[in-house]
Amino acid sequence: MRVLVIEDNEDLRLAIGGSLRGAGFAVDSVGDLPQADEALTVNAYDCAVFDRMLPSGDSLAYVRRNRPSVPVLFLTARDSVADRIAGLEHGDDYLVKPFAMDELTARVRSLCRRVSASLPPVLRCGDLEIDVGRRAVRRAGVLLTVTPKEFMVLELLVLRQGAPVSRTELVEYAWDEHVAPASNVLAGVIKQLRKKLREPEMIRTVRDHGYTIGPA
């Protein structure tokens, strides 16, 4: 499994790389967003570890803008509720500094396993199509712009289409077992997905159970 580390502090970058290599990962490391952009364009990774605030810019803004087709773990000293929610909405996990290297390694391994899980290359539900490899979503042939969290929630709903998926299952699938989003975050993701999928509505609320998706 191959990991990209983006961290401007050289000592920390070397420490993270050494810890991940010691756990069996192949690691590339860079110090700024332009280098990260080049690496993500040229190479295939199973996970990217972004320091949140870099001299070259806010990595969350970069991820939001570019939507890299790889799970993202943010490292951040910003631990307010708003910052944590933003990190969970636009990335796949976050870790507040200072952190234990063993915990970082465990979270990276979890994200890499998520990618390597056996899934069909393309998932379909009516006129909705999810390209798992490219992390692209189309409805009626139209490409939709979705966040990483929206993609994961939609992916699980389509994998289980026709059956209700509980809120707990969606949270565990999209946010990783180490973290729990604020209670209203999942509802917000569902609301945005409904808006982006447009009419006729596909995602339905199942009272006391969660959500389900099916052809309109």
Task: Let me know whether 153 and 85 are in one domain.
Answer: no
CB contact set of 109 (below 8 Å; sequence gap of 6+): 1, 23
> Is residue 191 very low, low, confident or very high in pLDDT (cuts 50, 70, 90)?
very high
Q: Name the DSSP letter for residue 165.
A: B
Do 128 and 185 belong together in one domain?
A: yes
User: Do 57 and 96 lie in a common domain?
Assistant: yes
In this predicted model, what pLDDT tens digit does every residue of 102-130 receive, in sequence order? 999 999 988 887 665 556 788 999 999 99
User: How many CB atoms are located within 10 Å of the residue 26 CB?
Assistant: 12
25 has pLDDT over 90: no
Round to whole Å and give the CA distance between 216 and 209: 20
- Co-location of 19 and 100 in the same domain: yes
Domain boundary among the residues 63, 90, 116 is at 116
Region 83-94: what's the mean pLDDT? 72
Structural domain containing residue 77: 2-116
Does residue 189 carry a pLDDT above 60?
Answer: yes
Say if residue 30 is in the same domain as residue 55.
Answer: yes
Domain boundary among 116, 147, 166: 116
Counted domains in the chain: 2
pLDDT band at 183 (very low <50, low <70, confident <90, very high): low
pLDDT at residue 182, as a whole number: 60
The domain that holds 194 is classified in CATH as 1.10.10.10
More confident residue, 183 or 61: 61
**Chain mean pLDDT for the chain:** 85
Are 88 and 14 within one domain? yes
The pLDDT of residue 10: 94
Where does a domain end: 83, 116, 149? 116
67 and 130 fall within a common domain: no
> Could you tell me the strand order of the sheet in which 136-139 lies?
122-125, 128-131, 136-139, 142-144
- Same structural domain, 92 and 135: no
Helices (H), the chain: 10-22, 33-42, 59-66, 81-90, 101-116, 148-159, 167-175, 185-197
Q: Are residues 90 and 8 in the same domain?
A: yes
CA distance 92 to 82: 16
Within this chain, do residues 97 and 25 fall inside the same structural domain, yes or no? yes
Identify the residue with better confidence: 79 or 33: 33
Specify the CATH number for the domain of residue 38: 3.40.50.2300
Cα–Cα distance between 91 and 22 in angstroms, integer? 25
Mean pLDDT of 154-178: 80
Highest mean pLDDT among 40-44, 73-77, 173-177, 196-200: 196-200
Cα 95 off chain centre by = 14
Helical packing angle, 59-66 and 33-42, nearest 10°: 30
**Percent of the chain residues past pLDDT 70, beyond the cut:** 88
Q: Which amino acid is at 105?
A: T
Residue 26 has pLDDT above 90, yes or no: no
Residue 74, Ramachandran bin (φ over 0: left; ψ between -120 and 50: alpha; else beta): beta
Comparison of pLDDT for 11 and 135, the residue scoring more = 11
Measured CA distances, 131 to 7, 39, 89, 124, 155 (Å): 30, 22, 20, 9, 10
| pTM reported for the whole predicted model | 0.56
8 and 103 assigned to the same domain: yes
Partners of 47 in beta bridges: 3
Which helix (H) or strand (E) segment is 213 a member of? strand 210-213
Residue 83 has pLDDT above 80, yes or no: no
Give yes or no: residues 48 and 137 share one domain: no
